[in-house]
Structure formats: structure tokens, C-alpha cells
Amino acid sequence: MTNSKTRTKRMSVIAGISVAVMLISACSIQIQSEPDPSIPDDTMLIAADKGSPMFEKIFNPYLFNKRVAASYIYEPLTAVNVLDGTQTPWLAEKVTLPDARTIDYTIRQGVTWSDGEKFTPEDVVFTFNLIKKYPTLDIKGAWQHIESVEIDGDHVVVHLKDDDAPAADVISLTLIVPEHIWKDVKDPDTWRDESPVGTGPFTVGNFSSQQYTMNKNQDYWQADKVEIEHLVLPAATSELDIVTKGFDWAYSYMSNVEGTWGAANPDNKNWFPPGGVISLVPNLAKAPWDNADLRRGIALALDRDKIADAATEEYMSKAGQTGLMLPNQESELNPDIPNDGVIEQDTDAALASLAKAGYTLVDGTLVDAKGAPFTFSVMTANGYTDWLRAIQEVRKQLTAIGINMTIKQPQPAGYQQSIQNGDYEVAMGGMGGGDIFQAYNSLLSSEFHVKVGELAPSNFQRYSNPQTDALLAQYKETVDPAKQLEISHQLQQIVYDQLPVIGLYYGGLWGLYNTSKFTGWPTADDPYAPPQTYDSSPLLIFTKLKLATKDGE
């Protein structure tokens, strides 16, 4: 299994390599790719969804097996740029926090559902009550934070259970559905929603098991910003399909991207921004990983440039220990942490730190006080080829200082179960994300700390520290951005000093796009959204793209 996938909560993913594309690259066969002449210039061919092997007609936005384009139909109160956590007002034209336990949404006027019915604050309250009644629909976990929801004119006021200001960033992402349709649905937690009615920029067109189309919602509240008239989403979206069939947009890792995707068409471009920090996740509930000197010694022993190059074919770079995604979150960085948080390889310092933890080098082997060699295993999921390459490079570097490291590769389901119940020594995983509080809270909060053998929803390494919990509580209690930044700096320092996980390199978001028909794509110079084809990012992108002129400018 080599496709990109969501591995664990807040863990960025780097996918594997298609054998077909690998063979193309190895044989140096030049492939040319031109837009399909049967597809008009105002129509986008997009590799956003994938049949398995065929499509099922499911557009219920809350179901796990929904079509990806459900998020082109149903919209949230705010759209988030996960590169830096910026929230853009969407169905809510304004979001304010009168205090740390109240969220006031000013609901946008002049919005209609795609069947012509008026969108109202009642739809928003209905949606929140719906996902409360059917908890499996609450995919963002909004009701973990909400006490009650009420209407006040054109406002929806959310009362939180406690001082919990960061909850607004989670609650705002809830996709809103129409009351006049969904109130009559008998089983909304299993309903397929084959003829969806949303507020979004597109509606469902033709649908088959191999391909479906989307048509521009001409009455969309931002219709003047959407210049795409149709979307075509095929079920076949392998790397070979993407290279050869003239796709306008795809989200896919591709080996030798310049020699395959780039060489196939001069208008084919790519942008791979960081989406998180791929890390070693030690099990802090098991000795010797509960010793910070040991973790620091491992961190100092590693050459992250080589690890990043091995894992990502030099697409991504080494990452800092703070978990921040630079440069997009540079304004958040604690200036007191050296080198942007990157821990450089220092073998002498590594051995000194390991010695403080009780391990010394004897005849080329690192041993403990009893003379037993230091041996441990690192777990990854079978088929995650990028993670495997990273671990193999880590093993090579640790072998050089006398450490015997083995690799375990259970199937993805087994990996997920093991990391959640603590049945591992060290695992590959991740930290970071665009939302500062949520990233640190999921990594560090004792709220998620459970004993080995019990399933952890996050904080898989089982970190617990009263000082850190107090900082997280203070963050929740304030609506002052300056105070939040101050607390963020302290949390960064804790992650840097205590190394609850050991950051290695950035995990990429694999954006491929073609500029011959549409321009205005997000780039490193204009990172207004990640180039991903799912969640709320496409809403930000669809409303920004422009039809290219005949000369491509």
C-alpha cells in the first residue's frame, strides 16, 4: 500500500511510489501530457477522489466513506489554511469571543441553498443539534466543548463548557446542512445523501461508478469569484493516470516529480509545503524512554538532512524540534530557541547525554551499567515507504555510535492499534499542525494520558507534566493574542527541552497543478491555502483561481 493516507490524528503523511511511474522514470521514457480536448477550458479535471475500485454515490459530509467532493458542496462557518492556522470567515461573516467561554457567530446574509431555499441561523443551530443527537456525525468533536447553542437575531451564540477559547477554531469547521432537508431524514448517521443540497460552489452532475462531474452552483454566494464551470472527477487516479491524462490538479506524492509530472507538460507545476513534522515517538511509559537525557542523546546523534533526503527524495527538509512549520509559522517561533529549533548532529554531545542516562561506549557498543548492549525497536506501518526509508537511515546513524536498532512493520491497522495502546518502544509518527493550540494540546495534554494497554486518542507517547497542563489551561482561558503567543513560546521550549517526541523532517502536502487553463494556484510565494484537494482548502482555492488567457498568462 503506497498511497498517501491519514495515519493518525495530526500526523502528516508522505506517500509511496507507484511502480508504473517508477518504471517510467527508470527507463527515461519521455511522456507527453496534454489537456483532454473533449474537456472545455472552463472545466477542471481533478484527481481528488479515488474509486475502490468504483465510486459509491455517497455525499453525506459526515460519513467516513463519502465522496471527497462533499466538501465542495457543504461549507463550514470558517475555512482554515492548515499551513498556518488562519481562519477565513465563510458561512459566518464574523466570529468574536466576548469571553473565553462564548463564541458569537454573525451568520452571513444573502446565502441560499442550492435548491433556492434561504440559508438561516436556524440551519446552523439545527446542524449542531443534529451532530449532538448523533455523535458519530460530530467528526470535529464540537460537542466535546459545547454546553449549548442559541439564536440571537442573525447571530448564533455558542456557550462552552469551560473557559476554552481555542475551541472556536474546531467548532467553526463544522459543515452546515439544511434543516428543511435533513429534518426528515430518518437515519442521518447512515444516510447516503445521493442528491445533496448545499451552500457550496458546486452541485453534483452526472454520476457513474467510474467518474462523476460537478457543476458550478450559479447561485453560489461567491459565484463571481468562481470561474470554473465544471469539475470532472475520475475513479482512476494513479500516478500514471495523473502524468498521462492531462489532469489540472492532483494531490499525490510522485517520485522524480520533475522528470515525470514536470517533464510531461511545461505547464505542469508542483508545490510541496510542509504539513507537519515526522518524528520518532518514544513510549515514555517504558524505561529507558522516560529519561530525557536518553531522548536528547538520540536526538543529537541524528543527521536530519540525510534522513529527510532519504525519506522524501530531497523534496522536504529537516524540521525543528518545536513542531512549528516554517516559514509559514515563523511569527510564532520562540526567538530564544536556537537555530529555529533544529537540533544539529553532534556525536560528542550525543554520547555525553547518553552517558548521563547511564549508557557508555565500550569496544564500539553502547552498553548500560550492567554491560548489556542498548537495543530497541522502531515501529512503522507496512507499506509506508517514506517512513521506512527514514527509519533505515536512522538505524544506520545509530549503528555508528554502537546502538542496535531493529525495525518492526505491522500492517497499518496493527500499527494504529499498537501506537494507541502503547504496545511499542519507539514509533514513527508526527507532531505539529496549523492550529497552534490543538497541535500542542493533542501532543502534551494529560487529558489524553492513559495507561499502557488503554487506547489513547492522542498523546500516544503518554507524556504528562503538571506545568505543561497549567500552560495549556492558561491558553484556553485567554482571548488575548499576545498572551497566547507568550504561552506558545513556553510550550515550544518544553517540547525543545524535554523531547516528548523527536522531530526529524517535514511531512509534505503533495500539490500538483497545471497552469494552462487556470491560474492563481497557491504557491510558496502566495501560501493562502495548502494544495490539497480535500477539507476546506478547495473552497479557498476555487474562489481564487482564474481562467487563463489564450497565451497562458
Kindly report the average pLDDT of the chain as a whole number: 92
For each of the domains in the chain, give its residue range(s) and CATH number, in order of start. Answer: 43-71+200-273+509-547 (3.40.190.10), 74-183 (3.90.76.10), 275-507 (3.10.105.10)
Kindly state the DSSP code that residue 471 receives in the 8-state scheme.
H
For residue 492, give the amino acid letter. Q
C-alpha cell at 180: 428543511
Please tell me the predicted confidence (pLDDT) of residue 281.
Answer: 98
Using 50, 70 and 90 to split pLDDT, how confident is the model at 46?
A: very high
CB atoms within 10 A of CB 7: 22
pLDDT, tens digit, for every residue of 192-232? 999 999 999 999 999 999 999 999 999 999 999 999 999 99
C-alpha cell at 535: 477539507
User: How confident is the model over 365-385, as a mean pLDDT?
Assistant: 95
CA atoms within 13 A on the CB side of 397: 22
Query: Could you give the CA distance from residue 97 to residue 118 in angstroms, rounded to a whole number?
Result: 27
Please tell me the predicted confidence (pLDDT) of residue 410.
Answer: 95
Query: Could you give the CA distance from residue 349 to residue 366 in angstroms, rounded to a whole number?
Result: 15
Query: Could you give the CA distance from residue 72 to residue 60 in angstroms, rounded to a whole number?
Result: 12
Query: Could you give the CA distance from residue 62 to residue 134 in angstroms, rounded to a whole number?
Result: 10
pLDDT, tens digit, for every residue of 72-117? 999 999 999 999 999 999 999 999 999 999 999 999 999 999 999 9
Enumerate residues 6+ apart whose C-beta is below 8 A from 112: 118, 119, 199, 219, 221
The answer, yes or no, to whether residue 367 has pLDDT greater than 90, is: yes
- Judge contact between 202 and 69, C-beta under 8 A: yes
Using 50, 70 and 90 to split pLDDT, how confident is the model at 9?
A: very low
Q: What percent of the chain has pLDDT over 70?
A: 93
The answer, yes or no, to whether residue 34 has pLDDT greater than 80, is: no
Residue carrying the nine cell digits 517520485: 255
Using 50, 70 and 90 to split pLDDT, how confident is the model at 19?
A: very low
Enumerate residues 6+ apart whose C-beta is below 8 A from 388: 380, 407, 409
The answer, yes or no, to whether residue 428 has pLDDT greater than 50, is: yes
Please tell me the predicted confidence (pLDDT) of residue 434.
Answer: 84
CA atoms within 13 A on the CB side of 442: 22
Q: What is the pTM of this model?
A: 0.88
